Amino acid sequence: MYINLLERRLPMPLKTPAEYIESIKALKRTVYLFGQKIDNTVDNPIIKPSLNAVAMTYALAQKEEYRDIMTATSHITGNVINRFTHIHQSIDDLVKKSKMGRLLGAKTGCCFQRCVGMDALNALSMTTYAIDQKYGTQYYQRFLKYLQYVQDNDLVCDGAMTDPKGDRSLPPHKQEDPDLYLHVVKETKDGIIVRGAKAHQTGALNSHEVIVMPTIAMRPEDRDWAVSFAVPADAEGIIYIYGRQSCDTRKLEKYSIDQGNALFGGHEALIVFDDVFVPWDRVFMYKEYDFAGHLVERFASYHRQSYACKVGVGDVLIGATQTIAEYNGIDKASHVKDKIIEMIHLNETLYCGCIACATEGKREEPGTYMVNTLLANVHKQNITRFPYEIARLAQDIAGGALVTLPSADDLNHPEAGKWIKKYFKAKSDIPTEHRIRILRLIENITMGTAAVGYLTESMHGAGSPQAQRIMIARESNVKEKQKTAQRLAQVISSDE
């Protein structure tokens, strides 16, 4: 056992959390936040919690107890790599991906941002191969070389799909401003120049690389918009504009109690591509418009599975709700017990979905394992609903103090503080500050910075609810269900 572990550790390109943070610090980027240019994102108090959440994906990979879930063996080098850079080689890999999402959601209580890159890599492994089969191109070999670079350096990739989209009723080539979908503006012998933007980019500032994909299926007239490539996050011409979150400026306050979860958070940003050069060896789709939909569907289904993360955040919220019930002395009330059971039932139903789409996955060319797309879409559809109900029940049990608590400044004030400690006390053996901390955590997940991830991102991330319903309609074979009914009713014969 000891020798095996040693052997396994030898070729390990795993970064430590400190190495990861240093590598992000070394990036030279143009970043805007609150109307100012930010040189150092790593030590910025607004951004830092989100960096910590990504760093957790490195920290857990270093721990023996999580290694089976957090690491995998590269199918190209045989090295032990972080699972976030792995191409799924089996059903077991897909199941471990779902378990990894729940684990990290529970460890951070927020969006840990690294899934988009993993999902982009896996989708590209299939689409580059499929394009080569049809057109005799060399995208797959290019992709494998890039993948090895990502694996060997244990990089975070931002999977950038969502274009600004302009007038939603018009395809890319009919937009008044052609840049509202990212597109190719020039081709040279060394590569291409691209212009446009990607919106709502999760973890953009904590990523080493940006992998760009088209956002919709395309027609021949849209061929200049059918482009996929990877660029370093600090490539010339890239501009980041940081997205606001509800309660974000609490991170600038003197005391951290009011943040609820002071250690971790997620973030999104607008990424502008102002004529960015991409060398040919980083281009994975170039005007093959008929494969834009292929890539979008695979990425979307993988990313809908990735919403296992919300099950982990649900674990935190259930734990916080049970705790506040005990602190308030209401945990024995039958309706409170029943509401907690309801929260668990909803959360575990979500878990069923992300495990089911993994176990029902199958091998696709060139050997990548793909989730069951119907079940992945059903799972994500549930994710657009159940966290809202879980959050409602948490707020029901937590009580009105959730939104009427005084600030941490008042708690620490020599005069006001004593009244807060006296009148916000519930059970006599529980310090008032503990009660406040748990209430602030529930506030954070259900209406503060983490609610971006637990609620609105659950609604719109990996595609809005209607996108899943389109896929559910397409994948569910209603005709066959009709036949089974008609056979039993003897409307048609048993062998039809």
Site for ligand SF4 in 300-329 (CB under 6 A): 306-307, 309
Choose which of 461, 463, 468, 471 interacts with ligand SF4 (CB under 6 A): 461
Q: Which of 58, 242, 286, 307 is catalytic?
A: 307
Q: Does residue 450 touch ligand SF4 according to CB under 6 A? A: no
Q: Does residue 295 touch ligand SF4 according to CB under 6 A? A: no
Where do runs of H (alpha helix) occur along 153-200? Answer: none
Q: Which of 303, 321, 351, 454 is catalytic?
A: 303
From the list ligand SF4, Fe ion, none, partner contacted by residue 17 (C-beta under 5 to 8 A by kind): none
* 183 flagged as catalytic: no
Q: Does residue 113 touch ligand SF4 according to CB under 6 A? A: yes
Residue nearest to Fe ion (CB): 461
Q: Does residue 457 touch ligand SF4 according to CB under 6 A? A: yes
12-20, 70-78, 106-114, 314-322 -> range binding ligand SF4 (CB under 6 A): 106-114
Cα 346 to Cα 162, 311, 385, 388, distances in angstroms = 29, 9, 10, 10
Q: Which of 57, 75, 85, 115 is catalytic?
A: 115
One-character DSSP codes across 347-404: HHHHHHHHHHHHHT-EEETTTEEE--HHHHHHHHHHHTTHHHHHHHHHHHHH-THHHH
Please, which residue, 172 or 461, has the CB nearer to Fe ion?
Answer: 461
Q: Does residue 50 touch ligand SF4 according to CB under 6 A? A: no
**Backbone conformation region of residue 260, classed left if phi is above 0, alpha if psi is from -120 to 50, else beta:** left
CA angle, residues 313, 314, 319, in degrees to nearest 5: 100
Nearest to 298 by CA among 227, 232, 387, 365: 365
Choose which of 112, 273, 284, 327 interacts with ligand SF4 (CB under 6 A): 112
* 348 flagged as catalytic: no
Q: Does residue 117 touch Fe ion according to CB under 5 A? A: no
* 75 flagged as catalytic: no
* 115 flagged as catalytic: yes
CB atoms within 10 A of CB 424: 17
CB atoms within 10 A of CB 494: 7
* 157 flagged as catalytic: no
Q: Which of 157, 247, 309, 354 is catalytic?
A: 309
Omega before residue 366 within 30° of 0, cis: yes
Interface mask toward ligand SF4 for 265-284; x: CB under 6 A: -x------------------
Q: State the minimum distance, in angstroms, from the CB of residue 306 to ligand SF4.
A: 4
Please, which residue, 116 or 300, has the CB nearer to ligand SF4?
Answer: 116
CA 430 – CA 432 distance, rounded (Å) = 6
- Give the CA radius of gyration of the chain: 24
Interface mask toward ligand SF4 for 207-246; x: CB under 6 A: ----------------------------------------
CA 198 – CA 229 distance, rounded (Å) = 13
CB atoms within 10 A of CB 362: 10
* Token couple for 428: 């006599």
Q: Does residue 111 touch ligand SF4 according to CB under 6 A? A: yes
Choose which of 453, 455, 463, 471 interacts with ligand SF4 (CB under 6 A): 453
Q: How many Å separate Cα 379 from the centre of its chain?
A: 15
* 309 flagged as catalytic: yes
Q: Does residue 463 touch Fe ion according to CB under 5 A? A: no
Answer for the pair 231, 240: CB distance below 8 angstroms, yes or no: no
286 forms beta bridges with 227
* 221 flagged as catalytic: no
CA 318 – CA 325 distance, rounded (Å) = 11
273 forms beta bridges with 196, 238
SS3 198: strand
From the list ligand SF4, Fe ion, none, partner contacted by residue 58 (C-beta under 5 to 8 A by kind): none
Q: Does residue 461 touch Fe ion according to CB under 5 A? A: yes
From the list Fe ion, ligand SF4, none, partner contacted by residue 113 (C-beta under 5 to 8 A by kind): ligand SF4
Cα 202 to Cα 144, 169, 268, 278, 297, distances in angstroms = 24, 26, 4, 22, 19
Interface mask toward Fe ion for 309-338; x: CB under 5 A: ------------------------------
* 434 flagged as catalytic: no
Catalytic residues, by residue number, are 111, 115, 202, 268, 303, 307, 309, 457
Q: Rule CB under 5 A: which residues touch Fe ion?
A: 202, 457, 461
Binding interface with ligand SF4 (CB under 6 A): 111-113, 115-116, 202, 266, 306-307, 309, 453, 457, 461
